[in-house]
Amino acid sequence: MRILHTLLLVLFLMFQGAAGQQEFPRLDHSCQAQNGRCFPGICRRPFYWIGSCSNGFSCCRRWVE
């Protein structure tokens, strides 16, 4: 059963690639270099804004005390 789920996932990803769509957004390299993550909109707790990503999202970093 686990193999069936894996095969369906691979098939789904292949169809997404063939259609030219990206289901999983990639991290922006400048944001990743600052240990941040790209989020749509504004940063919510426990994250704070450290810049903008190339796709227009907000680059957010987790608040650590």
What is the band of 64 on the pLDDT scale with cuts at 50, 70, 90? Answer: confident
Domain 27-64 grouped into CATH 3.30.460.10? no
Q: Tell me the C-alpha distance between 40 and 52, whole Å.
A: 10
Q: Full-prediction pTM beyond 0.85? A: no
Q: Tell me the C-alpha distance between 65 and 4, whole Å.
A: 44
pLDDT at 9: 77
Q: How confident is the model over 2-56, as pLDDT tens digits?
A: 888 787 777 777 777 655 655 455 555 788 888 899 999 999 999 999 999 988 8
Where along the chain do its domains lie? 27-64
